[in-house]
Structure 1
Amino acid sequence: MRANKRVKLWLMLMLAAVLLVPAGGSGWGGSPVHAAGTNLLTNPGFETGTTAGWTSMGTATLAASSAEANGGAYSGLVSGRQADWNGISQSLLANTVPGLTYDVAARVRLQNSASDTVKLTMRMIDSSGTSYTTIAQSTVTNGGWIELRGTFVYQPSGAATDLLLYVEGPQPSVNFYVDDLEVAERTATDWKAEANARIEQLRKRDAAVNVVDKNGSPVAGATVHAEQTRSLFGFGSAINNTVLSNPTYANFFKDHFEWAVFENESKWYSNESSQGNVNYSVADQMLAWAQANGIPVRGHTVHWEVEDAQPSWVKSLTGTALRTALDNRITSVVNHFKGKFKHWDVNNEMLHGSFFKDRLGASIWPYMYERTKQLDPDAKLFVNDYNVIEYAEDNNYKLQIQQLLAQGAPIDGIGAQGHFGATVDPYAVKQRLDNLATFNLPIWITEYDSVQPNENIRADNLEALYRLAYSHPAVEGVMMWGFWAGSHWRGADAAIVNQNWTLNAAGQRYLALMDEWKTDVTGTTGATGKFAFRGFQGSYKLTVTVPGASPVVQTLELAPGASVQQVTVTVDAGGPVGPEAPAAPGGLVAAAGNAQVALSWNASTGATGYNVKRSTASGGPYVTVAAGTVGTSYTDTGVTNGTTYYYTVSAINAVGESANSAAASATPNVPVASDLVVQYKANNPNPNDNQITAQFNIKNRGSAPVAMTGLKLRYYFTKEGAGAALNFWSDYAQIGGSNVSGTFVTMAAPKPGADTYLEISFGAGAGSIPANGQSGEIHARFAKSDWTNFNESDDYSYDGTKAAFADWSKVTLYLNGQRAWGNEP
């Protein structure tokens, strides 16, 4: 929801009706009639074998049924409905207290229809009349139970005479089951304290700055200033073309935000207002400004599924003409901004529009993602929609994402817009984020604002959303959707900066949060030359000063992790420095051949030669196989095929010998005669997390096509723990994710870096790799069923430095059972 989007009045009224007042409060002078957390419903699971406590809403027949049950032996069956509002109900008037907040839930499934919408509704009659509040709604099927969950704030006008919870929604004659319904007063908790505790663990890390002199000796008494210059978490905002004409607007943005997204300037209707007349000039100027100021940009949006958001000339197109226009737009805009936009909202708001789907079929949605990924494989592709955290449409969003992933759409992240009304409920927002986080995909709050005339409540709303989002492990960024009253799409009551560029209470709160979540510390090294601190993750400028010497400035990227991140700063501590032994060489690479291993490394300053050392065991002991080698390469021919060898190299000069380099290993093998080549890319450079992700591309350099059904690809790793099962997913494949399957094999004889391998096979729908062609990208992801971490750092097939596709012999490929590429461990 943003500029040029209509906000329906009924939606805003619903939003206002379900938003938060302080949990557990007693603003109406009442006191709870039940303990917090107690289910207030009678016979909530129908385990009496009857519908006692429940009444029909309108024309409906109620019965306890043993045919289906979410829990226990019975559920409630609602049939004989003649209108969509007909359903099952129970009065809450005697058990609720005005001023309190209640958590509401129900489990529902259909009986005689494949799919329909079900709603939880609260009807209240008070002195102002009859009102209806939608607590939650979701698409429900006959294939399983769906949970509907939401909150209700009981705020009657005067004395209420009726408070009725009921389940409604499907088309007349659709029967449905309900089970395990809940209404409970929200347990009083300190959400802010809980969020702060999560932030402390999730967003910070211990660091140690080790200050040494040029001889490597620790320097005591050095002053260390660690100043955070950028957050790892994405704090940003939408900008519009005002940034090109108003220096105050531009300066405020670059001083207070670290990510940008264009409000309208990269949308289709802005870039091609008439067919064939494509113009990116304004977006290009805005992008140049962002790049000049080191601000990454999200791409918004390739397409927009809502009919009113289409260029006027597109609305009349059908069939081939529409498909051609759609394809041309993807090709044009993605290629134009390739490598420049970090993210793409590929097809905006598919929950609330179906322009392309209605005209081109359901397969057009995953196609949009597949085509965008083909054109810009490095951009992270997002779904993006509203009412999924501010209103109870998270279940529908979740079902839609599941369907897209099942169809092979390469979705890299979930965009959750947050266009709130008068208040923000942190409990409900966390609940909905938790629901979306089950995909294990990063979530961004892509569009935040709150319309609230009272700027102090507006500030509370902003803090509630930002503190909750920053504390949530799945959320990686928050994008405010505009900041200045002079150009905010929802007006001055949603802005953090007033028309005259003074900060209102919301703006002051935002700056206070940014200050709270930035680290700026100064200290002195002790006898060991160390200064330790705990800081928020992100980029740091380290300034180290010792008496009588110029300050040394160095950068630090404080990344997520449980261990202490170490950084060494070398200073001139005064006095002459004598001749030194060379430093250990870096960049050692071992390449296996037939009965030989070719080694290469980086030169070490001051070295006159190098000692090459070999072992058949990881970690040594090492035997010198070449002493005093001149140059930075050596080929070891004294090896046996099929044996893994480990190498290190040290540098020497007249002063002495350096420490050994980091080790590299290789397994010489008899080469295979094949025209097939496997390329590999490490999608996630972090070797210590709970998923392994790898991407592959198979090239056919021969003159005849190769059927993919005859191919099997193996990726070797160590499982680290024998108990949990392994699960495989192919998040994206150019040949179609449904044509990719994976199985795991425990190796009978474990090898260094490998006790298990993933074997990827291909279905008939994958087709063939043409002569001099390639398979296209194949994305693999796997995890343990208990979601414990892997340690990939020593895995045979892993190479975290491969950020782009490269030939990789540590992955093997088999054609009709015969090895066609790579070296087995």
Structure 2
Amino acid sequence: MSLVNRRRRSRAVGLPALLAGALALALATTLAGGPATAAQQSTLHELAAAQGKYFGSATDNPELPDAAYAATLGSEFGQITPGNSMKWDTTEPARGQFNFAKGDVITDFAQQHGQIVRGHTLVWHSQLPGWVGALPSDQVETAMTDHITAEATHYRGAVAAWDVVNEMFNEDGTYRTSPFYTAMGKDYIATALRAAHAADPDAKLYLNDYNVEGLGAKSDAMYALAKELLADGVPLDGIGMQAHLAVQYGFPYRMQANMERFAALGLDVAVTELDVRMQLPADATKVASQSSYYAQVVDACLAVRRCVGITVWDYTDKYSWVPDTFPGEGAANLYDENLQPKPALASVRAALGAEDGGGDPGEPGEPGTLKALYRSSDSSATDNQIKPGLQLVNTGGTAVALSDVTVRYWFSSESGAATYRTWCDWSPLGCGTVTHRVAAAGTPAAGADHYLEVGFGSGSLAPGASTGEIQLRLNKTDWSNFDESDDYSHSTGTTYSDADRIAVYVGGELVWGVEP
């Protein structure tokens, strides 16, 4: 379809209108019959809209003829990102010959279901038609701006936000080589943003990348670039954090703090491609970690006012990209291959404030049951700090008041000072509500003459939900060394797993773990 002959489109539903619509629906439900029952539970998007956010899903053209899939996509989510149909190899396979038919199917679906659309993506080193890489360097800028102008103009009013430039950094924070970087250096990014703004002044413009969710070299590079662009007056509205996570690699370091520093620049933040994969086969520990990761992402976004929403990278394992890209891994999404909800969905719903739990983690009336997951956050077992990472997961059928919960992690004091300092370095619950102290064991045992006791000032843990990662640290007041290798509760694992040598108590009663 040529740019000249493209169809006119009605204005897309904006985010404020979409959120207002969801809130109105929730109010109407309340007026008609009181709070939503299990049969009338709020959708993910309605729950997010009540918090001032959106909740969306990626999709692609081959999935839409699947009627059951499309029904959930159209009803549960308030935002859509096309996985492939707006990429360069689809929209401009030959120079100057544009075809927007596949993308139009996605925007039409969104308009029919009152959803907003994130355009993905105008400039990317991958999925480029061969002719782009074959261009002489002095023609690349013109080709890039022509492409951006044509596509952003075509979708003006139908796309609320664009991933203008995608994946511009290497893992160490250096710029990724691409035809655009080779021809123009890093200035191609500012040029692309300016061209997109000129074509659609109303669309929100984002830079999007993976492994920029937590603090680190790559997110530092993104932060420095964003500051520079804003100082130069380049139109930039937000940062997209893809969030393709994996339970075997640990949760991104200080994700909320990372979001907050971009927000402090006056930028929006969006979680744009969330999934949480695992090495197959799945087991209870991996599923619990996955549920926790999903909940922690939601918690981080809810805690940052300028985090506008979350998009999962398709909602079902049936159409996941993971197995083809990471052999031996999968089960990354909120619904399984039969479009049935997984425990991760219940965790997301609970994190968004649902009262129904959204799943079936236990029989009705079953007492709340907690278990502890642990990973070592310290690469050395013989330095002067102990740094356990802890998570609690409610495996029962009713909520648990966290003010009733204490956790004990046992260690040996070695020589040196007998007094300690303790810290909570990060928690999605807020470290202000996490209490921590070191106490001497009443009956010392091998590797367990002291314990770190953790408690909570407030809050509750819904069925199937997790506290998220609680990063803790302790040292002796003289900073003398420990030897953790023989500590009762210590292990060398760096990914979360069930920890039966960490004790959890509810109301003073042991509900998880084996005391030394």
Using the TM superposition, give the Cα deviation of residue 226 of structure 1 relative to its aligned residue in structure 2, in angstroms.
8.1
Which residue pairs with 1:365 in the alignment?
189
CA distance 1:394–1:323, shift in 2 (3 Å): closer
The structure richer in helix per residue is 2
Partners of 2:237 and 2:151 lie apart in 1 by: 19
Using the TM superposition, give the Cα deviation of residue 418 of structure 1 relative to its aligned residue in structure 2, in angstroms.
1.1
State the superposition RMSD in angstroms: 2.9
Q: Provide TM-score, normalisation by structure 2.
A: 0.54
**Equivalent residue in structure 2 for 1:316, among 109, 134, 152:** 134
- Is the contact made by 1:235 and 1:479 (CA closer than 8 Å) also made in structure 2? yes
Partners of 2:204 and 2:256 lie apart in 1 by: 24
Partners of 2:344 and 2:82 lie apart in 1 by: 22
Percent identity over the alignment is 27
1:395 aligns with 2:220: yes
**SS across alignment from 2:163:** strand
Which residue pairs with 1:435 in the alignment?
261
Partners of 2:294 and 2:228 lie apart in 1 by: 33
Partners of 2:245 and 2:339 lie apart in 1 by: 23
- Is the contact made by 1:455 and 1:493 (CA closer than 8 Å) also made in structure 2? no
1:469 aligns with 2:294: no
- Is the contact made by 1:390 and 1:419 (CA closer than 8 Å) also made in structure 2? no
Whichever residue aligns with residue 262 of structure 1, its letter is P
CA distance 1:396–1:223, shift in 2 (3 Å): closer
Q: Provide TM-score, normalisation by structure 1.
A: 0.34
Whichever residue aligns with residue 165 of structure 2, its letter is N
**Equivalent residue in structure 2 for 1:487, among 314, 319, 331:** 319
Which residue pairs with 1:504 in the alignment?
342
Alignment of 1:24-63 (within 5 A): none
**SS across alignment from 2:133:** coil
**SS across alignment from 2:160:** strand
User: For structure 1, which segment, 501-510 or 454-463, has the greater mean C-alpha deviation from structure 2 after superposition?
Assistant: 501-510
Using the TM superposition, give the Cα deviation of residue 447 of structure 1 relative to its aligned residue in structure 2, in angstroms.
1.6
Partners of 1:517 and 1:286 lie apart in 2 by: 32
Using the TM superposition, give the Cα deviation of residue 419 of structure 1 relative to its aligned residue in structure 2, in angstroms.
1.4
Using the TM superposition, give the Cα deviation of residue 517 of structure 1 relative to its aligned residue in structure 2, in angstroms.
8.0
- Is the contact made by 1:243 and 1:286 (CA closer than 8 Å) also made in structure 2? no
Instruction: Work out the number of aligned pairs and report it.
Output: 300
CA deviation digits over 1:54-89, x for unaligned, max 9? Answer: xxxxxxxxxxxxxxxxxxxxxxxxxxxxxxxxxxxx
Using the TM superposition, give the Cα deviation of residue 336 of structure 1 relative to its aligned residue in structure 2, in angstroms.
0.6
**Equivalent residue in structure 1 for 2:210, among 381, 386, 398:** 386
CA distance 1:458–1:226, shift in 2 (3 Å): closer
Partners of 2:194 and 2:352 lie apart in 1 by: 37
Using the TM superposition, give the Cα deviation of residue 435 of structure 1 relative to its aligned residue in structure 2, in angstroms.
2.9
- Is the contact made by 1:244 and 1:285 (CA closer than 8 Å) also made in structure 2? no
**Equivalent residue in structure 2 for 1:234, among 54, 64, 84:** 54
CA deviation digits over 1:245-270, x for unaligned, max 9? Answer: 11111111122211111111101112
**SS across alignment from 1:253:** helix
1:247 aligns with 2:71: no
1:349 aligns with 2:176: no
CA deviation digits over 1:127-149, x for unaligned, max 9? Answer: xxxxxxxxxxxxxxxxxxxxxxx
Which residue pairs with 1:419 in the alignment?
244
Partners of 1:390 and 1:315 lie apart in 2 by: 32
**SS across alignment from 1:506:** helix
Which residue pairs with 1:327 in the alignment?
145
**Structure with max Cα Rg:** 1
Which residue pairs with 2:390 in the alignment?
none
Partners of 1:517 and 1:320 lie apart in 2 by: 59
The structure richer in strand per residue is 1
Which residue pairs with 1:39 in the alignment?
none
User: For structure 1, which segment, 247-256 or 432-441, has the greater mean C-alpha deviation from structure 2 after superposition?
Assistant: 432-441
- Is the contact made by 2:215 and 2:252 (CA closer than 8 Å) also made in structure 1? no
Whichever residue aligns with residue 326 of structure 1, its letter is M
Which residue pairs with 1:288 in the alignment?
108
CA deviation digits over 1:94-123, x for unaligned, max 9? Answer: xxxxxxxxxxxxxxxxxxxxxxxxxxxxxx
Partners of 2:177 and 2:253 lie apart in 1 by: 31
Using the TM superposition, give the Cα deviation of residue 427 of structure 1 relative to its aligned residue in structure 2, in angstroms.
6.0
- Is the contact made by 2:58 and 2:311 (CA closer than 8 Å) also made in structure 1? yes
Whichever residue aligns with residue 226 of structure 2, its letter is I
CA distance 1:319–1:500, shift in 2 (3 Å): same
CA distance 1:468–1:269, shift in 2 (3 Å): same
Which residue pairs with 1:340 in the alignment?
158
Partners of 1:467 and 1:246 lie apart in 2 by: 32
**Equivalent residue in structure 2 for 1:405, among 230, 238, 254:** 230
Using the TM superposition, give the Cα deviation of residue 224 of structure 1 relative to its aligned residue in structure 2, in angstroms.
8.8
1:272 aligns with 2:272: no
**SS across alignment from 2:227:** helix
Using the TM superposition, give the Cα deviation of residue 514 of structure 1 relative to its aligned residue in structure 2, in angstroms.
4.8
Whichever residue aligns with residue 439 of structure 1, its letter is L
Partners of 1:408 and 1:354 lie apart in 2 by: 25
**Equivalent residue in structure 2 for 1:375, among 178, 189, 199:** 199
Alignment of 1:673-692 (within 5 A): none
Partners of 1:502 and 1:430 lie apart in 2 by: 30
- Is the contact made by 1:390 and 1:424 (CA closer than 8 Å) also made in structure 2? no
Alignment of 1:732-771 (within 5 A): none
Whichever residue aligns with residue 503 of structure 1, its letter is P
**SS across alignment from 1:516:** coil
Partners of 2:205 and 2:32 lie apart in 1 by: 44
Which residue pairs with 2:502 in the alignment?
none
CA distance 1:301–1:514, shift in 2 (3 Å): same
Partners of 1:426 and 1:365 lie apart in 2 by: 26
Whichever residue aligns with residue 429 of structure 1, its letter is M
